[in-house]
Structure 1
Amino acid sequence: MTIRIGWIGCGRHATWMLMPQLARSGFEIVAVCDRDEAAAHAAARQFGATEVYGDYAEMIASARIDAVGMAVGPEVHYRATLAAIARGLPVFMEKPPGATAAQAEELMRASEAAKVPVTVGFMKRYSTGNRMAKRILDGDAFGPVLGIHGSYMTAPTYFAGEVDYTGFYLHHCVHYMDLIPWFAGAEFADVQLRKSVPGPGRMLLHMNFACENGVIGNVIMGTVQSRGTPMEFVQVMGDQNRVEVENVINLAWHRNPPFKAEDPQATLDPGCDTLVWTPNFTAAANEDHKGYHALLLDVAAALEGRASPAPVIRDGWLAMRRLERMIALIEG
């Protein structure tokens, strides 16, 4: 089955990262919407849409579509999703799912009451290295997760003129407010935070936490690193087990190997030595290691009412609650 989708927001992120993956994932883009008329018509030409709108409310009310997708801003995510739910149209929205946790909760209540699926673009769960790491953690060989360290940096590119960290929180930090508890398998119980602000628009955060299931850890986020440097790192520790994911693609599983130097018969043992994986970027294959394609395959299943692990609006609400808890500690 092909899902006829109407898409809101034809900016760079949508047209480079999301819309190219829709056709591979079971969608047909039949309508596009953007306040920028030139951007909307360019997207329509590129992706074969036959209907072009400048008003999302008109598209939701009038377009011949089965679902609505969007990558705009948090306020439009909130208002457009409410409009889609009212028409009975399932939704895929890029994160964040609103400007506040209260907005995300309202969307969750509306979605659940109307039984209209609303999914959220937490693609970090689907990035190749993260997805493989989670399968290791969920397998019998790893054992219980004990601790997690995460680092997710960016440059001060959110700020022009007056410093406002809202975009950094909503578009950047919210990812790890979803990803880290997903790896831990439990909600944050205790959260503490330290910050360093060496200049306007430059912030470094160290957040340490304990989860309800006993997992402990810390997350580093900030705006003090060039986007040209490695941006992400996740390390998950168990008992004689450690999984590390660098930049969502390079994966290493460290276990409990013997010492090698004094054993003349030493070799590599796949049963206990470190396993390492990294993609072959020279291969002529259209692989999406950031995770959008894999995410949208699960989104398609969810929007059709089939069983799916796709992140839903309840996941978005929980991530926003965690984010607002973190912001309160920053500003307190």
Structure 2
Amino acid sequence: MRPIKFNYEYDRKIKAGFIGCGAHAFRNVYPTFDYAPVDLVAVCDLNAERAEIYRKRFGAENIYTDYKEMIKQEKLDAVFVVLNFDKEGRPMYPRIVPDLLEAGLPVWMEKPAAYTADEVERMLEVEERSGQFVLVANKRYFYPTFEKAKQIIGLEGFGQPVSINGRYPLTLSPYQEDIATRTGLHWFQDICHPMSGIHFLMGEVKEMCFIEHQPSGNVQALLQFKSGGIGNLQLASTQAPTSPLERFEVIGSNQNVVIDNGMRLIYYKGSKGSGEYGKAPVYIGDDPADGPVLWEPEFSLGQVYNKNLFLQGMVQSVSYFANAVLEGKKIERSTLRDSLHLTKIFDAFKQRSGKWITIG
């Protein structure tokens, strides 16, 4: 990641518009501009009173209640979009993002990108036709723990990543035979959270099979990756609320890397003490320096790395996007095409369980 600068330290900034003035954006997106080369020019929301509150709070110049009017009136370099779901629980991005791309504007948008892979493919067509790009803010592409785990997996000593095990709490609604799909999948669209992390570490899924427990909605999924690696994802909807939310472990060649609770990184390597079975006197390796390593943040110092905006990769995502716009480069991470793959996984979970499903 680039060295952190405060907003006022940047010589060049993008002029950005922002569509959406909701609670999530207030907590997790607008504040990232303090650490990125972004000059917030205008905000847009259907509620003008709310838009005015955000304009004052985050230093924008103008407000709009119609995003088309905003992109027509303002000279913008890019647009940030953070929207809620519609009444059917479907993301609203496919209705708006194509208009922004057609207007010649790169887009940073929240996840999930869409309810179906077909919707993402249509946005991809507009993206390619317009020559612009979309970053979909699947955070695990930018989590410090996932970035460093990816770096460890790339080390020569780690070897080819053979398998991954993951756990994340999500509830799968029952399959309905009469309509040949599942409904009530609003929250299950968050499958992009664990799957974006798995995709980042292991690459694309070739095929998958899952079984479910009802009525709990718990799921066990087997994954076969295009690389030849294998994996398991446990969606434990009934896990204790006090337990760590998620855990991922990648196995290589006599080395493992673990991401625990999103912020603790453990690298298992080295060997135990020498000696034959039943007679080994020491459990610590002959070279104690060549053993497991654990990293986790401390929260005593006023460092930016112990702020949640950095631990969850939000600042990194926004900074990556803004700098790509400034430099006239397209992004290579957290792309719309990445989201297409994640949405195909979501589509697979809408099907009947207990069969192998090819991810096209």
Is 1:297 the equivalent of 2:314?
A: no
* Structure 1 residues 1-332: aligned runs within 5 Å: 1-73=12-84, 75-153=91-169, 165-170=184-189, 172-185=190-203, 187-198=204-215, 202-225=216-239, 227-259=241-273, 262=281, 269-270=288-289, 272-287=290-305, 288-304=310-326, 305-306=328-329, 308-330=331-353
Q: CA deviation at 1:295?
A: 1.4
1:330–1:38: structure 2 CA closer, same or farther, 3 Å change rule? farther
2:272·2:284 contact (CA, 8 Å) conserved in 1? no
Deviating above 6 A after TM superposition, structure 1's stretches of 4 or more consecutive aligned residues are: 264-267
1:46–1:154: structure 2 CA closer, same or farther, 3 Å change rule? farther
Q: CA deviation at 1:184?
A: 0.9
Distance 1:110 1:264 in 2: 59
Distance 2:282 2:220 in 1: 43
Q: CA deviation at 1:331?
A: 10
State the identity %: 24
1:117·1:303 contact (CA, 8 Å) conserved in 2? no
> What are the ranges of 5 or more consecutive residues in structure 1 without an aligned counterpart?
157-162
TM-score by length of 2: 0.82
Q: CA RMSD in A?
A: 2.4
TM-score by length of 1: 0.89
Q: Secondary structure at the match of 1:322?
A: helix
Determine which structure has the larger helix proportion and give its number. 1
What is the count of residue pairs matched by the alignment? 320
**Farther-moved stretch of structure 1 (209-218 vs 309-318):** 309-318
Deviations 1:88-111 (A, max 9, x none): 011001111122211111111111
1:204–1:265: structure 2 CA closer, same or farther, 3 Å change rule? closer
Deviations 1:164-213 (A, max 9, x none): 5322222x11222322122112x212211111123xxx421111111122
1:50–1:268: structure 2 CA closer, same or farther, 3 Å change rule? farther
1:76–1:169: structure 2 CA closer, same or farther, 3 Å change rule? same
> What are the ranges of 5 or more consecutive residues in structure 2 without an aligned counterpart?
1-11, 85-89, 173-181, 275-279, 356-360
Distance 2:119 2:285 in 1: 59
Distance 2:71 2:217 in 1: 39
Distance 1:99 1:30 in 2: 30
2:271·2:285 contact (CA, 8 Å) conserved in 1? no
The aligned amino acid for 1:191 is M
1:155·1:225 contact (CA, 8 Å) conserved in 2? no
Distance 2:124 2:257 in 1: 33
The aligned amino acid for 1:286 is V
Distance 2:239 2:60 in 1: 39
Larger Rg: 1 or 2?
Answer: 2
1:275–1:8: structure 2 CA closer, same or farther, 3 Å change rule? same
Q: Secondary structure at the match of 2:68?
A: helix
